[in-house]
């Protein structure tokens, strides 16, 4: 299976187009749907202050970021890490807009140049759970993933939680087709069920067929020619 990177960012505000910047990037790597431990995490000096609303969400103080590298200083390292991976993001439009803006400011072009495949778990969750809350916290609760330590948003913590959510959402599948893997719990039981003896099919007797046809004729008469079963029988050549 292709390499997957679960990615999350924290920002100074809600709009990259209005000049808000990235202050933190967290990436978690999965190989063959297993966490590899090869993660990537950086705080970034955004060269501006966070808005009050954003600060209340992530709690990362402006002073803390003053001695951190600027995005242009880590852009090449970031690209080398994510290049060619399948990226998994919750509400991908938001993060990709910010990454596009930062990469272009640093002279590296758009994010899709390096990672053309992006899975949006928010869209996936809305499809799986229409009409329900599909925030990361809601999904953790739904899939019984412990997020009690998530008092504030943090890119690395959120990426780690999203990795667990994604695996739970896809239920061990490598594709949209359901497959039984040898090392999955319950796979032996599933294999036994697939190999079960087929049930015998008993044909009706002549008396049973006659009684069936008599019943259909009675229904046809009482419904004034609206017995659907007879119509289907005439179409298929059987009753």
Residue 82 forms part of a structural domain: yes
Is residue 179 in some structural domain?
Answer: no
Let me know whether 140 and 223 are in one domain.
Answer: no
Q: How confident is the model at residue 182 (pLDDT cuts 50, 70, 90)?
A: very low
Assess if residue 178 is contained within a domain: no
Contacts of residue 222, defined as CB under 8 A and 6 or more positions apart, other chains included, come to none
Neighbouring C-alpha atoms within 13 Å toward the C-beta of 195: 6
Catalytic residues: 153
Q: Is pLDDT of 23 > 50?
A: yes
Q: How far apart are CA 168 and CA 121, in angstroms?
A: 11
d(CA 1, CA 167): 14
Per the listing, tokens 């990177």 go with 5
pLDDT band at 180 (very low <50, low <70, confident <90, very high): very low
Q: How many domains does the chain have?
A: 2
Exposed, middle or buried: residue 53 (CB in 10 Å: 0-12, 13-18, 19+)? exposed
Question: Tens of pLDDT along 155-176?
Answer: 999 999 999 999 999 975 543 3
99 & 44 share domain: yes
168 and 230: one domain? no
In which domain, by residue range, is 227 found?
206-236
b/e code 149-183 from CB counts within 10 Å (16+ = b) = eeeebbbbbbbbbbbbbbbebbeeeeeeeeeeeee
Same-domain pairing of 165 and 210: no
Is the model's pLDDT at 1 over the cut of 60? no
- In angstroms, the CA 86 to CA 115 distance is 7
At 117, which CATH number?
Answer: 3.30.420.10
CB contact at 8 A, 65 and 45: yes
pLDDT tens, position by position, 47-75: 999 999 999 999 999 999 999 999 999 99
Q: Is residue 48 part of a domain?
A: yes
Which of residues 121, 152, 172 is at a domain's end? Answer: 172
Residues 105 and 150 in one domain: yes
User: Where in 17-167 does DSSP place strands (E)?
Assistant: 22-31, 34-35, 40-43, 86-89, 118-120
DSSP single-letter state for residue 70 = B
- Listed range (38-47, 137-146, 160-169, 183-192) with the worst mean pLDDT: 183-192
**37 occurs within a structural domain:** yes
What pLDDT does 172 receive? 52
Question: Partners of 43 in the beta sheet?
Answer: 24
Specify the DSSP class assigned to residue 91. T
Cα separation of the two ends of the chain: 51
- Mean model confidence pLDDT for the chain: 86
């Amino acid at each position: 299976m292709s390499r997957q990177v679960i990615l999350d960012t924290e920002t100074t505000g809600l709009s990259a187009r209005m000049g808000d910047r990235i202050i933190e990037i967290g990436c978690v790597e999965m190989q063959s749907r297993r966490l590899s431990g090869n993660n990537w995490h950086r705080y970034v000096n955004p060269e501006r202050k966070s808005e009050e609303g954003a600060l209340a969400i992530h709690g990362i103080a402006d002073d803390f970021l003053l001695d951190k590298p600027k995005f242009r200083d880590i852009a090449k390292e970031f690209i080398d890490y994510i290049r060619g991976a399948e990226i998994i993001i919750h509400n991908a439009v938001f993060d990709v807009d910010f990454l596009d803006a930062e990469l272009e400011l640093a002279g590296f072009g758009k994010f899709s140049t390096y990672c053309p495949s992006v899975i949006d778990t928010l869209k996936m969750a809305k499809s799986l759970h229409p009409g329900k809350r599909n925030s990361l916290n809601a999904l953790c609760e739904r899939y019984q993933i412990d997020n009690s330590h998530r008092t504030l948003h943090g890119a690395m913590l959120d990426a780690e939680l999203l990795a667990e959510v994604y695996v739970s959402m896809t239920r061990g599948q490598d594709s949209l087709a359901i497959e039984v893997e040898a090392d999955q719990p319950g796979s032996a039981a599933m294999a036994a069920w697939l190999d079960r003896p087929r049930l015998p099919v008993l044909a009706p007797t002549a008396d049973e067929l006659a009684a069936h046809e008599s019943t259909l004729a009675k229904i046809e008469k009482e419904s004034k020619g609206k017995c659907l079963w007879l119509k289907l029988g005439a179409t298929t050549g059987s009753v």
